[in-house]
Amino acid sequence: MNRFILAVTASLLMTGGAQAGVTEEDIANDQSMTNQVVTNGMGRHLQRYSPLDTLNTGNVKNLVPAWAFSLGGEKQRGQETQPLVYDGVMYITGSYSRVYAIDVMTGDEIWQYDARLPEGILPCCDVVNRGAAIYGDNIYFGTLDARIVALNKDTGDVVWRKKIADYKAGYSYTAAPMIVNGLVVTGNSGGEFGIVGAVEARDAETGELVWTRPVIEGHMGTLNGEESTMTGTLNATWPGDMWKTGGGATWLGGSYDARTDTIVFGAGNPAPWNSWLRNAGQSNDGSGDNLYAASRLGIDPSNGEIKWHFQTTPREGWDYDGVNEVVAYENRAGEQRLATADRNGFFYVLDAADGGFVRGVPFVKDISWASGLDDNGRPIFVEENRPGDPAAAADGKKGDVIFASPSFLGGKNWMPMAFSQRTGNFYIPSNEWGMDIWNEPITYKKGAAYLGAGFTIKPNYEDHIGSLKAVDPDTGEIKWEYKNDAPLWGGVMTTAGGLVFTGTPEGKFLALDDETGEVLWSFQTGSGIVGQPVTWEMEGEQYVSIISGWGGAVPLWGGEVAKKVNYLNQGGTLWTFKLPKSLAMAQ
């Protein structure tokens, strides 16, 4: 009897007792509940800002390792996850679609789930996973064979598993799901294979579809198992049948603006990359814009209807995508705004009410494909810097080669920026690089790459590629810049203690002064950092975690740049640091 009582007591302590698990209120208040991190982005607005100030510019030098956790085995590659922390347990995802539950006090493993991936998966840009979602008693994450899985948070047992799309057609899934009002909201990956981007919402308890919203015009959405409305207007901005394989993958996941009850997703590059097949002319009338690829979309969470759209790169032909995260914030005047830093090199501020254009400024140097933005935020194209039409070439095999900046890996790629409520600035991990790019003939084949382009990436400067920039969203002014030799590919976090955290491919985990960009603390993690930091408090002490493990798209697609970083070692270690109470007051 005594043993039974002890066992039950231990079980209740581990699972948090008779709690209902993570609630919608927990998720909505994630930023202010500093003992937890239950959303990707440290809040569904994706600000990645913590109000904790125990750790600050004066004492960050006293930050020390608390524990380290190895992901183990040979399944390394890029580790891009953001940890979640709830009720004494940390949850992370790993490459090759794995999930770990870890005791947050000791770093001991509680359970591990390893998805059984089939042969023939087609991830374009490494076998990464960017994190999980938590709701009720479940952990939700996506897999490389385009499935969404719900696991019991205490045991790791499968609760349900659902198919997002057909991996044999090039679909996959790498983003962290999002929870909104009891719905699990996901996108899809696979834009290089002629798939069709979509946003889907499922009942969190059962996994059953509630609504689907394709993001390429001409495709039909669904609601409660029935057809709902068509996305856009058939053939309004796409020629012929090209919309059927139009791309627009929603591969980075979304944000949620509670102020307007709007889910905001980015839609990626149109397919194929060869823009001449989708639009021969300048299309300033909008007829060749290829909606809603390379766009941000405001979506009604109750039914999946599109409320508004803003297209960053019409008739996109450089793989500048359009999927980068949209952060909901208030500016210094108290106005409700959205901000996004696009792969095309421009930083945009939008009106939160309707997605209307407020301002746009370059956040990288040497943008060559556009001379600027007009009053509506539409790019002013430099036509001679569009990759040439293969059909105009003498042999019909290769269009004119042009140099474009930024490269197709973007002024900023997937790695999330952060907003500081303390300074009112954004902190953007960017890269200064360009590319030689040309177009080639291409036809669609299921499960085959659908590019119609070739490229070679080159650094723009000898002394750096990576550049962490502090940007004032009210003016577009770059307040400071931290230069890094290798490309930056990891996320950023800000705190009320005046700190900006990020990592480098060289393995350094850094804390910088949010006002000046001065490096105040550095720790060598042993492998390149392409993950996302978080912070929380426990028993009166502030903790910070980051995953280390080099990989991602740069070593696979980086051309000359990849050669520059090919010495970097793979890894797979979750590092957790803390500021001991005894050192919190030490300056």
83 close to 545: Cβ distance less than 8 angstroms = yes
Instruction: Give Cα 87 distance to the centre of its chain.
Output: 26
Tokens of 143: 């897999």
> Has 354 been annotated as catalytic?
no
- The contacts of residue 492 (CB under 8 Å, 6+ apart) are 48, 415, 416, 417, 418, 427, 428, 429, 468, 500, 501, 502, 533
Tokens of 378: 């539409």
Torsion angle, alpha carbons of 106, 108, 111, 112, to 10: 120
Tokens of 73: 């085995």
| Letter string b/e over residues 373-409, b meaning 16 or more CB atoms within 10 A of that residue's CB | beeebbbebeeebbbbbbeebeeeebbeebebbbbbb
Phi and psi at 295, nearest 5°, equal -135, 160
d(CA 405, CA 345): 8
Return the amino acid letter for 405: S
d(CA 490, CA 429): 8
Q: How many CA atoms lie within 13 A of 543 on its CB side?
A: 27
User: Smallest Cα–Cα separation from 105: which of 525, 582, 543?
Assistant: 543
Q: Would you give the end-to-end CA distance of the chain in angstroms?
A: 53
Tell me if residue 109 falls in helix, strand or coil: strand
- The contacts of residue 539 (CB under 8 Å, 6+ apart) are none
Residue tagged active-site, from 289, 319, 321, 514: 319
- The contacts of residue 302 (CB under 8 Å, 6+ apart) are none
224 close to 274: Cβ distance less than 8 angstroms = no
Would you tell me how many other CB atoms lie within 10 Å of the CB of residue 322? 27
User: Smallest Cα–Cα separation from 75: which of 122, 115, 124?
Assistant: 115
What residues are labeled active site? 319
